[in-house]
């Protein structure tokens, strides 16, 4: 009996050993797979290397596909777990196209499609037009556009800051000052419009470095105005920005913030809930050193400015803001190509506008929250002597200069 038991036990062990030997390959594969599952996979690691930090997978694929710069985020996009709620979008059901490569003037009209963008530039005094067609690699859906305004827009309406600019020695330092001011402002989109045929690399590089969400456009001054002694600077730029806002925004506030001004952050806080039009003082304007509505008992009774010029609204460009909804209610509102009367012409185009409806900011216009601090004009830098300084840091350094 005992011998039979031992024999049976030996047969059982032999059978187990034989089965293990026959399935050694399968067991080895199973162990390898289990070890691989316990550590990050090679494919996931490779994908992570290409994925922007803080961006979910689906959104990251869209961002990687936008290699031509159609969309620019000036700050990291939060992951879904970190995303602040943003239920109310401010964009129509059309492709949101940032970093517009096309140029246009105040009378330009843009048709957006899923494959092409066509921009026609016209002026009031000419019948000829030029058309530029580009094909973007991709368009941005509402989910991606939503990332521009991470805070609930019902609680904190977005600000559209319109800045016309042109190439000059003071351009980059003045844009730097304004850009880092806007960096402290939440729910802001900086619309930078260059007076040139195309966007310049210097401005693009600066905007990317600062990190404020932005749209970069190009809108050159029409040729006939460039011949005038006094030029209507910034008009085509601002009208192009108004066109962009009409096409893409439905809520919020627009404000013309020139790059040669200085701004108190309190001003942007007060702009948030403008219902129609708001006005406020601007310092360092004309011989009076200030341009402001005259307020008595909370009502505008006139305007205080060093040059009235027969204007109905003698204000500085930085002295008023407009609701986007109110702009939509005035579809023909734009800025005229009339030097010295740009602000007046634009505000007139918003009529009917009762002064009693105008909101008075800056403590009933008793404070100055923005200053016209123009930088000293500088002559262009002389050409670098390449024979003398070739191969030195000066070659690269002069690329910053005009």
Annotated binding site for Mn(2+): 260
The closest of 298, 281, 306, 288 to 355, measured between CA atoms, is 298
- H/E stretch holding 58 reads helix 57-65
Token pair listed for 47: 């994908």
Beta carbons within 10 angstroms of residue 223's beta carbon: 9
User: In terms of DSSP H, where are the helices of 111-259?
Assistant: 142-146, 171-182, 201-210, 223-226, 235-248
Binding-site residues from annotation:
260
Q: Cis bond leading into 202, ω under 30°?
A: no
Longest Cα–Cα distance in the chain: 126
Is 132 strand, coil or helix? strand
Tell me the three state secondary structure of residue 262. strand
Q: Which of 196, 185, 175, 290 is nearest to 240 (CA)?
A: 196
Helix or strand (DSSP H, E) at 189: strand 188-194
Are the C-beta atoms of residues 291 and 281 closer than 8 Å to each other? yes
Residue 265 CB-density burial (10 A; 0-12 exposed, 13-18 middle, 19+ buried): exposed
Residues in the chain: 402
Q: Is 343 one of the annotated active-site residues of the chain?
A: yes
Contact 211, 74 (CB under 8 A): yes
CA dihedral 193, 196, 200, 206 (to 10 degrees): -30
Annotated catalytic residue within 342, 343, 351, 367: 343
Residue 80: CB atoms within 10 Å: 10
Return the number of other C-beta atoms located less than 10 Å from residue 122's C-beta: 17
Instruction: Tell me the torsion sign for CA atoms 334, 336, 337, 342.
Output: negative
List the catalytic residues. 343
């Amino acid at each position: 009996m005992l011998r039979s038991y031992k024999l049976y036990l030996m047969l059982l062990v032999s059978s187990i050993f034989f089965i293990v030997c026959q399935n050694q390959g399968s067991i080895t594969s199973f162990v390898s797979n289990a070890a691989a599952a316990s550590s990050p996979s090679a494919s996931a690691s490779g994908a992570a290397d290409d994925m922007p930090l803080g961006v979910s997978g689906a959104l990251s694929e869209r961002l990687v596909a936008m290699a031509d710069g159609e969309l620019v985020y000036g700050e990291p996009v939060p992951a879904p777990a970190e995303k602040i709620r943003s239920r109310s979008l401010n964009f129509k059901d059309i492709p949101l196209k940032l970093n517009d490569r096309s140029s246009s003037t105040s009378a330009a009209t843009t048709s957006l499609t899923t494959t092409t963008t066509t921009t026609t530039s016209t002026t009031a005094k000419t019948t000829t037009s030029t058309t530029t067609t580009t094909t973007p690699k991709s368009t941005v859906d509402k989910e991606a556009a939503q990332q521009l305004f991470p805070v609930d827009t019902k609680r904190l309406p977005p600000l559209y800051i319109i800045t016309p600019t042109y190439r000059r020695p003071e351009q980059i330092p003045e844009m730097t000052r304004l850009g880092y001011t806007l960096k402290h402002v939440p729910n802001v989109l900086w619309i930078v419009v260059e007076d040139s045929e195309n966007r310049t690399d210097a401005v693009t590089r600066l905007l990317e470095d600062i990190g404020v969400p932005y749209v970069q456009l190009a809108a050159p001054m029409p040729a006939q105005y460039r011949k005038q002694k006094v030029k209507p600077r910034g008009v085509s730029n601002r009208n192009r920005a108004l066109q962009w806002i009409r096409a893409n925004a439905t809520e919020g506030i627009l404000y013309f913030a020139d790059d040669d001004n200085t701004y108190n952050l309190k001003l942007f806080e007060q702009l948030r809930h403008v219902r129609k039009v708001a006005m406020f003082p601007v310092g360092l304007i004309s011989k009076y050193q200030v341009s402001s509505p005259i307020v008595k008992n909370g009502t505008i009774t006139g305007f205080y400015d060093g040059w009235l010029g027969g204007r109905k609204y003698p204000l500085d460009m930085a002295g008023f803001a407009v609701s986007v909804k109110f702009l939509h209610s005035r579809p023909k509102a734009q800025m005229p190509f009339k030097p010295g009367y740009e602000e007046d012409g634009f505000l007139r185009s918003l009529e009917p506008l009762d002064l009693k409806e105008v909101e008075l900011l800056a403590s009933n216009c008793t404070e100055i929250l923005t200053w016209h601090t123009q930088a000293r004009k500088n002559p262009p830098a002389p050409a670098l002597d390449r024979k003398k300084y070739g191969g030195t840091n000066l070659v690269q350094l002069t690329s910053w200069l005009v």
